[in-house]
Amino acid sequence: MDIGSFVEPARPAPRRSRQATVRWGSRVVTIGGDAPVRVQSMTNTDTVDAIGTAIQVKELAQAGSELVRITVNTPGAAAAVPYLREQLDRMGVDVPLVGDFHYNGHRLLADYPACAEALSKYRINPGNVGKGDKHDRQFGQMVEIAARLNKVVRIGVNWGSLDQELLAAMMDENAQLAEPQPPQQIMYRAIIASALQSARRAEALGLAPEQIILSCKMSGVQDLISVYRALARSCDYPLHLGLTEAGMGTKGTVASTTALAILLQEGIGDTIRVSLTPQPGEARTQEVVVAREILQSLGLRTFNPSVTACPGCGRTTSTTFQELAKQIDDYLRAQMPIWTARYPGVEGLKVAVMGCIVNGPGESKHADIGISLPGTGEAPAAPVFIDGEKALTLRGETIASDFQVLVERYIEQRFGAAREPLTVGA
């Protein structure tokens, strides 16, 4: 067997988009170019309820959403936006707001100038800006306001609301060909054409290329991958990625992760949103948690210390390691808002919690700090490895709490201001 002399390490391909800049006050969020892939989310509150929406925006921002989109669908919602922005500013939440417009965005932006000002970015769906001659006029009105106020625009095509006139024209043209293409191809090309034609028109109306972001959302994984590959080849605008109507629970999480991971690995995508339908009682912030996990798993961003835990098997019949892994994971996440400022670099920490001697010592040695718990029939001792070396062995009923103390001490010594040399005490 020839395995060659070098195994190419996998890493996300470099991105090549131009850069857009979204601002609110002193908060600047760069998108595309050399900026990290950004996490976006969307509220599901009625925007008319400015207080309720402000609370949810704050939760999403605290969970790590770098841009939050809100629905602006009625005069009441448009009137509430400046008040919502004011509430956020009072709470010290400077996350930029993105206004989501359909059908009447041209009127709302013109009639509610304070709303147009309070939003940092507008999402315009070219399939929902009016039909016939109204389409270009109403699209133009929104773009002109964005250009005048120096706002970024996302031209967001969605296959569920694709410009039907454009699709019909492309279908007719295709039917005239000696060898027509399959309808799926025309659908793909119509979605991309809608985005690109709208972007060109926006530029012609005065929007700078750096103020334009594109998206072409689909609900099928392979459809999304097909369209974004072609879109990325066709332009250098930053691209917002998301699988629309991904669904709920495991299905939604897996479908979004599959689609986004493949595209991000190919260097496609500058902002992402995971469109999860919350399960009853589930926090809206779950979509932010999943989006961050996708980026961290691919090595594109580092947000939280990682806890490697084995899945468990017949070699360990106790739940000790599951409980310890969860306890450590919960503890690290809960501390991050404080630790981010106190311990620079702590987000890169790797902790391992393993169930038995088979993979425990090996995996623990790869982590910064790891523990190998005793499996069934093994001596009741848990070796702890620090920076690849066995440092000590924990025993007794307090293994879990003792290990947490060791993790805290490790973080303090390695990432604290004093940066003491690492010492270990049982």
Measured distance CA(81)–CA(26) in Å, rounded = 19
Side chain identity, residue 22 = V
| The one segment of 201-209, 220-228, 309-317, 331-339 that binds ligand SF4 by CB under 6 A | 309-317
| Least distance in angstroms from the C-beta of 309 to ligand SF4 | 8
Question: What residues have CB less than 8 Å from 61, skipping those under 6 apart?
Answer: 68, 93, 95
**Among the listed residues 312, 361, 362, 416, the single contact to ligand SF4 using CB under 6 A:** 312
Contact range with ligand SF4 by CB under 6 A, out of 47-55, 310-318, 330-338, 386-394: 310-318
Residue 54 vs residues 47, 58, 59, 83: alpha-carbon distances, Å:
9, 6, 9, 9
Applying CB under 6 A, the span of 65-73, 324-332, 341-349, 353-361 interacting with ligand SF4 comes to 353-361
Find out whether 216 is annotated in a ligand binding site: no
Segment lying near ligand SF4 (by CB under 6 A), choices 17-25, 74-82, 259-267, 351-359: 351-359
Among 358, 378, 392, 415, binds ligand SF4 (CB under 6 A): 358
- The reply to whether 354 sits near ligand SF4 by the rule CB under 6 A is yes
- The site that binds ligand SF4 (CB under 6 A) totals a number of residues, namely 13
> Which one-letter DSSP state was computed for residue 387?
T
By CB under 6 A, residue 93 contacts ligand SF4: no
Q: Which residue has the tokens 């996350």?
A: 95
Among residues 311, 377, 421, 425, the one that binds ligand SF4 under rule CB under 6 A: 311
Nearest to 26 by CA among 149, 120, 91: 120
Determine the straight-line distance between the first and last CA of the chain, rounded to whole angstroms: 47
Residues written for the chain: 426
The least CB distance from residue 375 to ligand SF4, in Å, is 5
Tokens 């009016």, residue located: 130
CB of 419 to ligand SF4, least distance (A): 33
By the rule CB under 6 A, 407 interacts with ligand SF4: no
Euclidean distance between CA atoms 313 and 326, whole angstroms? 17
- SS3 assignment, position 51: helix
Quickly tell me which residue has 């970015």 as its tokens: 121
CA-based torsion, 328, 333, 338, 341: positive or negative: positive
Using the minimum distance from each CB to ligand SF4, give the nearer residue, 281 or 311. 311
Cβ-based nearer residue to ligand SF4, 209 or 312: 312
Q: Is 363 annotated as a binding residue?
A: yes
Q: Which helix (H) or strand (E) holds 71?
A: strand 67-71
Write out the DSSP string of 174-188: HHTSSSPPPHHHHHH
The one among 201, 315, 326, 333 contacting ligand SF4 by CB under 6 A: 315
SS3 content of the chain, % helix, strand, coil (to 5): 45, 20, 35
Phi and psi of 215, rounded to 5°? -145, 150
In angstroms, give the least distance from the CB of 263 to ligand SF4: 32
| Of residues 375-404, those binding ligand SF4 (CB under 6 A) | 375
Q: Which of 187, 260, 291, 310 binds ligand SF4 (CB under 6 A)?
A: 310
Determine whether the annotation assigns residue 356 to a binding site: yes
In angstroms, what is the minimal distance from the CB of 327 to ligand SF4?
17
Q: Give me the amino acid identity at 311.
A: P
For residues 143 and 206, the answer to whether their CB atoms sit within 8 Å is: yes
Which helix (H) or strand (E) segment is 23 a member of? strand 19-24
Of the residues 82, 99, 360, 374, which one makes contact with ligand SF4 according to CB under 6 A: 360
- The annotation places the binding site for [4Fe-4S] cluster at 310, 313, 356, 363
Known binding residues are: 310, 313, 356, 363
The residues that touch ligand SF4, with contacts defined as CB under 6 A, are: 310-313, 315-316, 354-356, 358-360, 375
